[in-house]
Structure 1
Amino acid sequence: MEIVIVALECDKDHTHMFLHALPHLSPSNIMAKIKGVTSKKLREEFPHLRHLPSLWTRSYFVSTEGNVSSETIKRYVEQQKTRG
């Protein structure tokens, strides 16, 4: 899909991602692919997850880079592991 993960941080119940994607890709298609692939991989690696009907909720938040720089967004995502 030609998506570049610029920054990624995971918490126990959510993930922050800063992605660069081609403009013809919709956020909903990108998230569907990410959730589908990660669900498949996690179920392969952790068989006890196979009995769950779903690993991810259908919800997500998407924002575009606009009034802030790429570096500001990247720094925000990377700092999520140190907050709290």
Structure 2
Amino acid sequence: EIMRDVCADFEAELVEFNGENNHVHLLVNFPPKVAVARLVNSLKGVSSRRLRQEFPDLVRHYYRANKLWSGSYFAGSVGGAPLS
């Protein structure tokens, strides 16, 4: 829900969301006017803030780093490729 809301703010569509216990995968369809770095920064910032509000125990779990997400990310393009 959080990621979907952020994508909507960028006129983007969250097509698929999943991941592992230590990272997430997002498949996002976004317009070419949107910079990937800006979108990712917003996804991470907004989701971190809202998750900490909803789950206060996260603050205690990540107190040393004082951040929920890593500063890095990977972005790949699938432009035009079928999603299947």
Which TM bucket (shorter chain)? Answer: 0.7 to 0.9
Identify the residue that residue 68 of structure 2 maps to in structure 1.
55
* TM-score normalised per structure 2: 0.75
Q: SS where residue 65 of structure 1 aligns?
A: coil
- CA RMSD of superposed structures (Å): 1.5
Please identify runs of 4+ aligned residues in structure 1 that moved more than 4 A: none
Q: 2:27 matched to 1:15?
A: no
Match of 2:78 among 62, 65, 69: 65
Paired residues in the alignment total: 71
Unaligned runs of 5+ in 2: 1-9
* TM-score normalised per structure 1: 0.75
- 1: CA distance, partners of 2:82 / 2:24: 18
User: Higher relative contact order at CA 8 Å, sep ≥6: structure 1 or structure 2?
Assistant: 1
Match of 2:55 among 46, 52, 63: 46
- 2: CA distance, partners of 1:44 / 1:26: 27
Identify the residue that residue 44 of structure 2 maps to in structure 1.
35
Unaligned runs of 5+ in 1: 73-84
- 1: CA distance, partners of 2:39 / 2:29: 11
Aligned-pair identity (%): 30
Structure 1 residues 19, 70: closer, same or farther in 2, change over 3 A? farther
